[in-house]
Amino acid sequence: MKQVTVGVVGVGVVGIEILNILRERNFPSKNIRVFARSERDIEIDGRLYTVEAIDKASFAGIDIALFAGTEGEAGASTLYASKFIEEGAVVIDNGSDFRMKDGVPLIVPQVNRERIANHKGLIANPNCTTIQMVVALGGIQKKFGLEQIILTSFQATSGAGRSAVSALWDESKAIVNSNDKAGNYADINKILPKTSGVFSHQIAFNAIPQIGSFQEGNYTSEEWKVIKETHKIFADSSIKVSATCVRIPVFTAHSEAIYFTVKEKATFNQIADVLAASEGVIYSAKPEDYPLALEVEGKDEVFIGRLRRDPFQENGFWMWCVADNLRKGAALNAVEIAECLLKD
């Protein structure tokens, strides 16, 4: 692959992960420029990076720009993506601003890399929850077709950013430190009468069945992302997709219980064989060898276990799916897209 100049926009948890992955994978970069709101130097794993203030910077000479994912009307990609593109860069955006826009490919390389070539200077990275699910189901969709998907996600706090990780840590410490000498459980409602403000409720020792704002049909924005992005990635809006997304007190790695039905008749062994052969997937055939969030942190693959057939629904199956949300769910997927660009 040819040597290119890379721009990384954002130095939050995803931006830092992008910088780490570029180095780990020996990405063919002759220069890496880092941009954020303010100019400063940062150190990541012993390596010093100079951060440029994005509002004052020139983007000339950058071949690929990786946006870490600031979302919303004032998001970095909304403000600056077009300026990078005008200077000749291809933008790969981790935010949600352009995912559903017509003409913008929404890419997971293991599933639909052939659509990368359709870009017009901008490629969107899907939501972390969607990415690991479609990697898990991609081979099944191609071989048997998908009729229905029902997802229940159990999502790590790092998906909400650095402040969310700190909230879990601080709340947990407050509860543990307040435990009485007799070893009884502390009254957590008295210890933490107010939340950190990051989540709508206390996250420590809790589960919050809301990620994002409530929208049509009482589904949250996160749940609608899963529905709409899955349809776009698989290019099939006939798939019946429904989701419940839950935030849990885990630092890194999302876990998902995925129920799916296939259009063509399939046996348990046929589904298992597809999973075992799927790109980017590690499938555990033994039911007791299910993947755990603690075990997959820092790993690139999507891990699947506990495959089982629905005893009452023909062509219905369940499986358990776990992946590092900061790596495959965000930074790694973006870097893999960039690698595909250089190979084409």
Known catalytic residues are 128, 254
> Buried (b) or exposed (e) across 129-145, using 16+ Cβ within 10 A?
bbbbbbbbbbbbbebbb
Does the structure show a pLDDT above 80 at 227?
yes
The identity of residue 116, as a single letter, is I
Q: Which residue has the tokens 């075990």?
A: 295
- DSSP element (H, E) containing 122: strand 122-124
Domain ranges of the chain: 4-125+331-343, 130-156+207-325
Q: Do 308 and 317 touch, CB atoms closer than 8 A?
A: yes
Considering the four listed CATH numbers 3.20.170.30, 3.90.1640.10, 3.30.360.10, 3.40.50.720, the one that applies to the domain covering 130-156+207-325 is 3.30.360.10
* Residues 186, 176: Cα–Cα separation, whole Å: 8
Residue 72: the pLDDT is: 40
The DSSP bridge pattern shows strands 302-309 and 316-323 to be: antiparallel
Residue 71: the pLDDT is: 43
Band (pLDDT 50/70/90 cuts) for residue 125 is: very high
| Backbone torsions φ then ψ of 30, nearest 5 degrees | -85, -20
Residues with Cβ within 8 Å of 207's Cβ and at least 6 positions away in sequence, in order, are 154, 246, 247, 248, 249
Identify the bridge partners of residue 269 per DSSP, sorted by sequence position.
none
Residue 194: the pLDDT is: 66
3-class state of residue 71 by DSSP: coil
Q: Which two tokens stand for residue 302?
A: 């999507």
289-316 pLDDT tens trace: 999 999 999 999 999 999 999 999 999 9
Residue 35: the pLDDT is: 96
Q: Which of 194, 176, 195, 196 is nearest to 186 (CA)?
A: 176
Does the structure show a pLDDT above 70 at 13?
yes
Q: Which two tokens stand for residue 199?
A: 């989540």
41-75 pLDDT tens trace: 999 999 999 999 999 999 999 999 999 975 444 57
| Backbone torsions φ then ψ of 127, nearest 5 degrees | -60, 145
Residue 41: the pLDDT is: 95
**CATH architecture classification, 4-125+331-343:** 3-Layer(aba) Sandwich (3.40)
Residues with Cβ within 8 Å of 184's Cβ and at least 6 positions away in sequence, in order, are none
The identity of residue 11, as a single letter, is V
Q: Which of 86-100, 122-136, 185-199 has the lowest mean pLDDT?
A: 185-199
Residue 129: the pLDDT is: 97
Q: Do 228 and 199 touch, CB atoms closer than 8 A?
A: no
Does the structure show a pLDDT above 70 at 324?
yes
- DSSP element (H, E) containing 260: strand 254-262
Residue count (the chain): 344
**% residues pLDDT > 70 (the chain):** 95
pTM comes to: 0.95
